[in-house]
Amino acid sequence: MKPIACLAFLPFLFLIGCSAYVPGYYYMPHPGLVDVPATQPSQLAPAQVLASVIGIRYPDKGANLPQAVEVRIRVENSGLDAVVFDQQSMELHSGDLVQFAAPIIDPPSQVRLEPGQSGIITVEFPFPNGKSCDQLNMSNLHLQWTVRVGDRFVKQSEDFYRSSYPDYGYDPYWDGYPHGYYEPYPAYGVVVIHRRW
């Protein structure tokens, strides 16, 4: 191969080498949508939670962070009461029912959303007891959390299944949100709150 042709591949090699994610771990649905049920059959859901497994991050020795499963949550308050998402209520289990360590979160642990607001939360679930992704059944993952709508506590969950390829247009650097806009990829434990006008 001519030298000039070899140089043309260097940017692609650089991107591959700099990926923060273990290759081959893609999960569906992306995102999963879970409605908070209304109290009356004629009412619309007062809140929606969208959840995605972004990938498995390599350990970050510089930041003293272990290998972890990265999960992104979007909470939308479409009702009349305040919605509180408790990050500490989140749990993640592997396919062989092993619970991951408590998520790495960014304060405050409870994210409050007023009517019309939406929030994006990114958390990391470290692997338990120093295990790695090849020591657990990672064919499916079970995520659960608790949402409070007004004075009502609602426990929810979503199951994710490993896909052989990223057929949902996955991009670890830029990941599209469900409302037609794009934002830079957040770092560990980020909470972003939006208001819809």
Per-residue pLDDT tens over the stretch 124-167 = 999 998 888 889 999 999 999 999 999 999 999 999 999 976 65
Cα angle for residues 162, 143, 23 (degrees, 5° grid): 35
Res 190 pLDDT > 80: no
Asked if residues 75 and 196 have their Cβ atoms less than 8 Å apart, the reply is no
In this prediction, residue 192 carries a pLDDT of 62
Res 16 pLDDT > 80: no
Structure tokens at 193: 């709150």
Give the number of residues written for the chain.
Answer: 197
Residue 117 domain boundaries: 3-195
Largest pairwise CA distance in the chain: 70
Percent of the chain with pLDDT over 90: 61
| pTM of the predicted model as reported, rounded to 2 decimal places | 0.77
Which strands make up the sheet holding 68-77, listed edge to edge?
A: 32-36, 47-57, 68-77, 117-126, 190-195
**Rounded-to-integer distance, Cα 195 and Cα 197, Å:** 6
State the number of CA atoms in the 13 A half-sphere of 59 facing the CB.
8
β-strand partners of 149:
83, 152
Q: What total number of domains does the chain contain?
A: 1
Q: Are strands 110-113 and 117-126 parallel, antiparallel or unpaired?
A: unpaired
The torsion angles phi and psi of 6, rounded to 5 degrees, stand at -65, -40
Neighbours of 172 (CB within 10 A): 16
**Rounded-to-integer distance, Cα 66 and Cα 62, Å:** 10
Which of these ranges, 63-67, 169-173, 187-191, has the smallest mean pLDDT? Answer: 169-173
Q: Which amino acid is at 5?
A: A
The torsion angles phi and psi of 129, rounded to 5 degrees, stand at 55, 35
Neighbours of 48 (CB within 10 A): 20
Q: pLDDT per residue over 49-74, tens digit each?
A: 999 999 999 999 888 889 999 999 99
